Amino acid sequence: MPIATVNPASGETLKTFDALGAEEIESRIASAAHAFRRYRLTGFDERARLLNRAADLLEQDAPEIARTMTTEMGKPVAAARAEALKCAKAMRWYAERAEELLADEHPSAADVRDAGAARASVHYRPLGVVLAVMPWNFPLWQVVRFAAPALMAGNVGLLKHASNVPQTALYLEDLFARAGFPAGCFQTLLVGSSAIENILRDPRVAAVTLTGSEPAGRSVAAIASDEVKKSVLELGGSDPYVVMPSADIERAARTAVTARVQNNGQSCIAAKRFIVHEDVYDGFAERFTAGMRDLTVGDPMDETTDVGPLSSERGRADLERLVDDALSRGAIALCGGQRPKEHERGWYYAPTVLAGVTASMRIHREETFGPVATLYRVSGLDEAVALANDTPFGLSSNVWTRDEEDVRRFVRDLEAGGVFFNGMTASHPALPFGGVKRSGYGRELSAHGIREFCNITTVWHGAEPDDGS
Residues known to be catalytic: 234, 268
First to last CA, the chain: 73
How far apart, in whole angstroms, are the C-alpha atoms of residue 327 and residue 249? 27
Phi and psi angles of residue 22, each rounded to the nearest 5 degrees, phi first: -60, -40
40-73: string of b/e by CB count within 10 Å (b at 16+)? eebebeebbebbbbbbebbeebbeebbebbbbbb
Phi and psi angles of residue 357, each rounded to the nearest 5 degrees, phi first: -75, 135
- The radius of gyration computed from the CA coordinates of the chain, to the nearest angstrom, equals 24
DSSP state of 399: E
Taking CB atoms within 8 Å and a gap of at least 24, the contacts of 412-419 are 413/385, 413/389, 414/240, 414/385, 414/388, 414/389, 415/389, 416/239, 416/240, 417/443
Q: Determine contact, residues 161/188, Cβ cutoff 8 Å.
A: yes
What is the three-class DSSP state of 159? Answer: strand
How far apart, in whole angstroms, are the C-alpha atoms of residue 367 and residue 319? 9
How far apart, in whole angstroms, are the C-alpha atoms of residue 259 and residue 239? 10
How far apart, in whole angstroms, are the C-alpha atoms of residue 324 and residue 219? 30
DSSP state of 105: B
